[in-house]
Amino acid sequence: MSAWATRVHIRALGHHYLTPLALVGNTAQDVETWIQDGLNGTYALTKVYAPDAQEGEDPIAEGYELTRPCTAQVEEETIEWAERVLVVLSYAHAEALARGLERRLTTATTKLEALTPPRGRGKRQIKEEQVMIEKADAILKQHRVEGLLSYTFERQVEQQCKYVGRGRGAKKRPQQVVERVRYQITAVLRDEEAITALQQTFGWRAYVTDVSAEQQSLSEAILTYREEWRVEHGFHRLKSTPLSIAPLFVKRDDQVAGLINLLSIAVRLLTLIEFVVRRALERENAQLVGLHKENPKKPTDTPTTERLLQAFSNITLTIIHFPDRVMRHITPLTPLQERILMLLGLSPDIYRSLAQNSA
């Protein structure tokens, strides 16, 4: 969306755009400069408050804007316009990134300290300096903390004598001295200055728009973007499980079009289920617990349809045919399953009716 060609195309059509800038090319360097200008007070920052904020509530973001001229050639016509760059700090995003960084630092520290265990049964030792350095640097790279964590190590040598001499009471004499070499990490150090400098850049993002400040202020633009329609979420569902539009095992064009139409209806159904449940939870100011198998006690007020459907993955319908009747049995609903049906506005009787027996 933020590609230059896309913005030019939108402008040429007489429409408007509001999009975050992707950190590619020269934009990455520009954003670094804009962030520093925001941090050092080059521009006065404007506070952004939530639409329903009460008096005395803290802002959700702050930022400033600058304007730059844009020129593009569209066919044989030259178009010119003023583009606003909105440089904004989101407090919630900054806090989330800071928590993630702290988790990475803690995990990397633990792994580095465990890399060179003391001698003992079953504890493999690192005997070459280059091997230890490569493994330690790989941990720093894996957790993206290079330049934030450092380590010190030492080379430890233990001498062991082997003796000769057999038989009871035989005099033993040294045969040879063997050196056992190992490398030990002695300390893992945090570069607090570098960590603080990085944390100060967290939460900043640059947006661009061709809408004038008279039509939409900085605060209004940020709040408008926060209410974006996330079409990419639908595309992701279409391309991955449970729909998986690719690959297409059809040959004729009408089959391709028909399958895409069918799957697009499925996307709408998945989106509708998610919307209805989240709206019901919002109205009740409630949360659902039990949707995350990895953490059954984790509550959420924004469940996805995929997790909602997964809650019904353990049901079984058994049908037994007798000469004079048909018997059906279905797995009883759990409290979580009944709760989901109620949030969808559906009666559990719809589910229980599957087990009605017939003569």
Q: Which of 94-108, 171-185, 331-345 shows the lowest per-residue confidence on average (mean pLDDT)?
A: 171-185
Q: Are 85 and 113 in contact (CB under 8 A)?
A: no
d(CA 310, CA 304): 10
Which amino acid is it at 138? Answer: A
d(CA 206, CA 98): 19
pLDDT at residue number 314: 85
pLDDT at residue number 32: 92
Kindly tell me if the per-residue pLDDT of 169 is higher than 60: no
Which amino acid is it at 208? Answer: V
Same domain flag for 71 and 127: no
d(CA 194, CA 7): 36
Which amino acid is it at 216? Answer: Q
Kindly tell me if the per-residue pLDDT of 343 is higher than 90: yes
Q: Are 161 and 172 in contact (CB under 8 A)?
A: no
Q: How confident is the model at residue 357 (pLDDT cuts 50, 70, 90)?
A: low
Q: How far from chain centre, in Å, is Cα 354?
A: 39
97-126 mean pLDDT: 91
Q: Which of 307, 313, 306 is nearest to 291 (CA)?
A: 307
Q: Are 198 and 36 in contact (CB under 8 A)?
A: no
30-56 mean pLDDT: 90
Same domain flag for 90 and 208: yes
Q: Are 355 and 330 in contact (CB under 8 A)?
A: yes
Same domain flag for 207 and 76: yes
pLDDT at residue number 158: 80
Phi-psi region of 226 (alpha: psi -120 to 50; beta: other; left: phi over 0): alpha
Same domain flag for 123 and 145: yes
CA distance between the termini of the chain:
61
Same domain flag for 253 and 283: yes
Kindly tell me if the per-residue pLDDT of 170 is higher than 60: no
pLDDT at residue number 162: 65
Which residues on adjacent β-strands are paired with residue 88? 63, 205
Beta carbons within 10 angstroms of residue 218's beta carbon? 23
Q: How do residues 195-231 score in pLDDT, each as one tens digit?
A: 999 999 999 999 999 999 999 999 999 998 887 766 7
Among candidate residues 195, 213, 245, the one where a domain is terminated = 195
Same domain flag for 77 and 203: yes
Q: How confident is the model at residue 353 (pLDDT cuts 50, 70, 90)?
A: confident
User: What is the number of domains present in the chain?
Assistant: 4
Among candidate residues 147, 180, 195, the one where a domain is terminated = 195
Q: Provide the residue range defining the domain that includes 72.
A: 4-95+198-228
Same domain flag for 252 and 137: no
Same domain flag for 305 and 335: no
pLDDT at residue number 174: 57
Same domain flag for 179 and 303: no
Q: How far is CA 73 from CA 13, 81, 115, in A?
A: 13, 12, 58
337-342 mean pLDDT: 93
What is the pLDDT of the chain when averaged over all its residues? 88
Same domain flag for 146 and 109: yes
145-159 mean pLDDT: 91
Same domain flag for 70 and 206: yes
Q: How confident is the model at residue 308 (pLDDT cuts 50, 70, 90)?
A: very high
Kindly tell me if the per-residue pLDDT of 313 is higher than 90: no
301-313 mean pLDDT: 90
Q: How do residues 47-63 score in pLDDT, each as one tens digit?
A: 999 888 788 889 999 99
pLDDT at residue number 38: 93
Same domain flag for 207 and 83: yes
Kindly tell me if the per-residue pLDDT of 88 is higher than 90: yes
Share of the chain above pLDDT 90, in %: 55
Q: How do residues 256-294 score in pLDDT, each as one tens digit?
A: 888 889 989 999 999 999 999 999 999 999 999 999 888
